[in-house]
Amino acid sequence: MPKNPALARLPGFRDFPPEDLAVRSHIFRAWREACRRYGFQEYDGPPLEPLDLYTEKSGEEIVGQLYAFRDRGGRHVALRPEMTPSLARILAERAQALPKPIRWFSIPQLFRYERQQRGRLREHFQWNADIVGEAGVGADAEVVALAVDALRILGLGPQDFRVRVSHRQLVSALLLGSGVAPDKLPVAFGVVDKLERESRQRSLDRLRQECGLGVSEAEAVLQLFESSDLERAAEVHGEDPEVAGALADLRSLRQVLDEMGMGPFVEFDLRIVRGLAYYTGMVFELFDRKGELRAVCGGGRYDRLLELVGGEPLPAVGFGMGDVVLGELLAERNLIPSYRRAVDLFVAAVSEAQRELLHRIVAAQRAAGKSVVYPLRHQPLRRQLATAAAEGAERAVLLGPGEVERGVAKVRDMATGREVEVPLQALLAGKGGDGDGNA
């Protein structure tokens, strides 16, 4: 805490000292590696956007959490709370010229004024991966598999997490077919979304009082959604073409994912609704297997968003995976590599007389690509060696008067203590830093 509390970090925001930044970079590397394997290209957009981009498209929950203000030019603006509307805007301008399907990813920092709780902050980094221009389940399967593979790269397996898949149109059709009036659909979605968090009785009461269902209708809805059994949904509502179409999609999705070896990670679960307004088809969330943490990842198909921001209509599917819950899960499973400082070389001079030479060697070794540190002011050799160890130097170049007179320097392997003599000419030519005495 700084002496002046007015200067304290804002609640829900994080500082990233090097050991914390290393965790973030570890996660980002896995995300980028997964994208490389799947042929996705990286993009970005501005962190500040017109407020209107969110008010219409994102849905009430996110709009209520916006960091929004008027800029000095009087414009209504907002810090981006999610990436999808920016992606839609960027593509609305240029999708026509791009070969389809478009596979793009980004790792933006996002801002939501949320009530702070475990796994939820007011800023987070969110990996977004989206496929635009392909309406078939092949694209749905590809994004689910990509999310799974990133977690596998980080060392997590089917014992650690699962993907719960549902379908917006299927849920709508099942609710309508169960007697929910079209204008009550949003409320009914809310009830389904909360089935796991609210008591059964409360859900029954809400279905009756807020969605206008009778006792037996409300009971039937609960049974259908609690079981999440697609065969049962097919038995009861299979005549409905919307239901039949969505079920067929989900079955093909399952088949592709099984063929890719993703079967053990994937479950159907009709209780997954997703808070955002723009989803139109398959939706999914990825959770830790124990069910202790919030969702690590959420996404789905949004076939109308590009049109809504003024682009040509293009089908799209993708997800966002945050760094906060994922970091918690990795920490819980001991999958965060321990932090270690590391440089290739520490160059030490026994006295000020070798300082000019030291500067020349440092510059030459850096020009040759080595990471090099040295004492910025003269210190006793013992202190310098202690610093070299603290910096994690692999080797130390020791410039002593006797050796320098003979045209050599000692290069010490910091782990074994073994020393070799290396010609100064080699060190000044950017060589010999690997302790190769013949360089």
Using CB under 6 A, list all residues that contact ligand HAM: 82-84, 112, 114, 120-121, 124, 126, 128, 130, 276, 295-299, 318-322, 324-325
Helix (H, G, I), strand (E, B) or coil at 328: helix
* CB closer to ligand HAM, 147 vs 388: 147
CB of 154 to ligand HAM, least distance (A): 14
Q: By C-alpha distance, which of 338, 347, 336, 350 is closest to 394?
A: 347
Q: Give helix 168-177 / helix 230-237 axis angle, nearest 10°.
A: 40
* CB closer to ligand HAM, 107 vs 364: 107
401 prior amide bond cis, ω within 30: no
CB of 401 to ligand HAM, least distance (A): 58
Q: What does the radius of gyration of the chain's CA atoms come to, in whole angstroms? A: 29
* CB closer to ligand HAM, 320 vs 375: 320
CB of 315 to ligand HAM, least distance (A): 12
Do residues 149 and 34 make contact, with C-beta atoms less than 8 angstroms apart? yes
CA distances, 6 to each of 1, 3, 119 (Å): 10, 9, 25
* CB closer to ligand HAM, 190 vs 392: 190
* CB closer to ligand HAM, 146 vs 230: 146
Q: By C-alpha distance, which of 359, 329, 334 is closest to 427?
A: 359
CB of 221 to ligand HAM, least distance (A): 24
* CB closer to ligand HAM, 128 vs 365: 128
* CB closer to ligand HAM, 143 vs 393: 143
> What is the phi/psi pair of residue 66, to 5°?
-70, 140
Q: By C-alpha distance, which of 272, 389, 383 is closest to 319?
A: 272
Pairing of strands 161-167, 266-268: parallel
CB of 300 to ligand HAM, least distance (A): 6
Distance CA 164, CA 304 (A): 23
CB of 65 to ligand HAM, least distance (A): 8
CB of 275 to ligand HAM, least distance (A): 6
> What is the phi/psi pair of residue 186, to 5°?
-60, -40
Residue with nearest beta carbon to ligand HAM: 322
